[in-house]
Structure 1
């Protein structure tokens, strides 16, 4: 894993390119991360995605291990920064995979960029639902205090205690421990991004024609399967799936199943294109 940094228009990106050495396809995956995630922590997913296509795993300015980005800069502006990166890299045929927080950025990007061929989302909404606003405000406040208390609150907000969820107690324990060790800069990034998302109100969801797959954990207590289903119904061309025996940390509880779901849109498009070429 080689992590690169680039500054475009005074905005810092971290990214890693995972090459697919069996394909000469122009298609690429852009993998966008959730809150408190970074390239290193999702390495196994990036490698799995690269078995299908070249995968760019990107920390957009103000996310991951970049620098804090003031909350006065909007989600749409973050999406425009990503679009600048896409143009700089010369990407033309793009399949977006987005987790959690990155959902809002990816939705805005689909409106801005005609080169997005498919969108696959796990555990995310384009804005915070009414049911989640109080919990979000509590996390914002906690992120300014003791890191251990914040880690406990964050973990309890995103998970449920359910023996049907694989490795439920172990995952919750590891997540809480890892978050409690994060630097003040990482906490500041979380604060700014969460405030940014709290005030974000997308008004263009119905205009998105991009084929989408959206999945959510059955027991996700934060965004809830009902809210995600309602979001999926606003999209013209969307498949919705609930992953059973999972909460918000689907990627830790069912990693292989999730990888298969999130790459399906890209696989279907490319396989269809190949089949059609047989008739030419």
Structure 2
């Protein structure tokens, strides 16, 4: 109590000044309409700005949840379409009857939480693992094209071998005529890969679509890889060197879908038996 009294005595001039200032401001706003309106407008602007910023933050996290829900729904619908032997063409927005082989695939959505593009051997990390049904050697695609292959899996996370990895070879083909070859990255520009082993009589044109061949257990047939940017046949060779612009921009990739092939083990076992027979010869 004594301390409070000493504080009041010591600072009585300052306290009196502040009290008079507050009293003056109240009088101004009560008896001066212009000042009162200016104050209310300024106050409302500040309040609106604060609420606007708060709502942006709330909406950001809300949209993140909505995007994840949409990704899950998209994966579920794709799985249902393939199970019913239907193919959805994203480019023209139509449903077509597909081959029954598509029913062997199931799609699971995942979020890319880490990714590299400028190394020679690039990888990425997904926020889904074994408890979500993710397994090694499963193909990974985005809404625009192929992304890579799952390599390692823990309970809640998994890592993938990016298409931008010089160790990864993918079997691709020209969509218009089914001539196939191998797709690989040369470690240079992250927007381009190379399609090799296409014969010079294949009739390549700039803008041709390059899609997955479907010969492996990783990807269904017809998943977009990219489009032909340039091509040439070097002197003395009988195959094209084709530069393909990737459909996927790996710098902005967010949501992906991991593909489970229900018949993968059967295919691998059969191919291993075939290889054993060839070794006996």
- Structure 2 length normalisation: TM-score? 0.29
Instruction: Provide the TM-score with structure 1 as the length reference.
Output: 0.30
Of structures 1 and 2, the one with the larger relative CO (CA 8 A, separation 6+) is 1
